[in-house]
Amino acid sequence: MTAPLAAPGGLFDRLREACRPAWNAYVDHEFVCRLGAGTLPEKAFRRYLGQDYLFLIHYARAWALATVKSSTLAEMRSANASVKAILDVEMGLHVAFCRDWGLSEADMEALPEAEATMAYTRYVLERGLQGDLLDLVVALAPCALGYAEIGERLKGQAVGANPYRAWIEMYAGDEFREAARATADEVDRLWATRANSGRFAELAGTFDRACRLEAAFWQMGLDA
């Protein structure tokens, strides 16, 4: 039996339940469902892929900000490991994957940012700049955990000649799943060491907003 992505009763688990409508709108978005069924228009997927490349650049910047917000060397190393994973592994996989769809790295880097991309990435960076490390990691968490949940669910649905099977398998893979679990564990650890119950409502607001921006990112692709 596959272990849960997040510890039951931990902060991430509580935030997901408190923000269930926004979470479900994100992980069950029409873009995701049609991707799993293999019926998503190629134009929509290509639009998403190009913007996701730009998103990953800012996602790495946000984790780099986490090193500045860290209080201990262990926290700095954890944040730095995330930056390296994005820049050295995930972006390389993304570029290789996009190459198969006729999108070069130079082409993607030259793309103008969509409004949905700007709204989401700037919101995450703003929460990190205004708040502490916990605020930042909570804003980042829906991306990692949501994609892992989506990948796991779609892996069992993608049958036959689904053109998006490789994308699904990438986010359903053990490497991405372990990275997602590490993010959930970090959220729980920071809650235990840096927070009190009075902060939950504010953190839930951050989490909810991030989920809604994730859903808007899918919609941006679908609208193409």
Considering only residues 157 and 211, tell me which one the structure prediction assigns the higher pLDDT. Answer: 211
With respect to residue 5, please indicate whether it lies within any of the assigned structural domains.
Answer: no
pLDDT for the residue numbered 158: 63
With respect to residue 1, please indicate whether it lies within any of the assigned structural domains.
Answer: no
Three-state DSSP class for residue 73: helix
In terms of residue numbers, what domain contains 64? Answer: 11-223
What DSSP character marks residue 100? T
Residue whose structure tokens are 């699904």: 168
pLDDT for the residue numbered 2: 66
Confidence bin at 4 (pLDDT 50/70/90) = confident
With respect to residue 92, please indicate whether it lies within any of the assigned structural domains.
Answer: yes
With respect to residue 2, please indicate whether it lies within any of the assigned structural domains.
Answer: no
With respect to residue 33, please indicate whether it lies within any of the assigned structural domains.
Answer: yes
Catalytic residue among 75, 149, 152, 214: 214
Cα–Cα distance list, 186 to 2, 7, 121, 134, 172 (Å): 20, 11, 20, 9, 21
Tokens matching residue 174: 């053990």
Q: Is residue 214 annotated as part of the catalytic site, yes or no?
A: yes
CATH number at residue 159: 1.20.910.10
The candidate with the shortest Cα–Cα distance to 134, out of 12, 35, 216, is: 12
Q: Is residue 143 annotated as part of the catalytic site, yes or no?
A: yes
With respect to residue 195, please indicate whether it lies within any of the assigned structural domains.
Answer: yes
Do 151 and 173 contact (CB within 8 A), yes or no? yes
pLDDT in tens, 13-33: 999 999 999 999 999 999 999
Considering only residues 85 and 134, tell me which one the structure prediction assigns the higher pLDDT. Answer: 134
With respect to residue 3, please indicate whether it lies within any of the assigned structural domains.
Answer: no
- Output the pTM of the full model: 0.91
Distance CA 102, CA 39 (A): 19
With respect to residue 6, please indicate whether it lies within any of the assigned structural domains.
Answer: no
Considering only residues 80 and 5, tell me which one the structure prediction assigns the higher pLDDT. Answer: 80
Catalytic residue among 143, 149, 152, 186: 143
Number of domains in the chain: 1
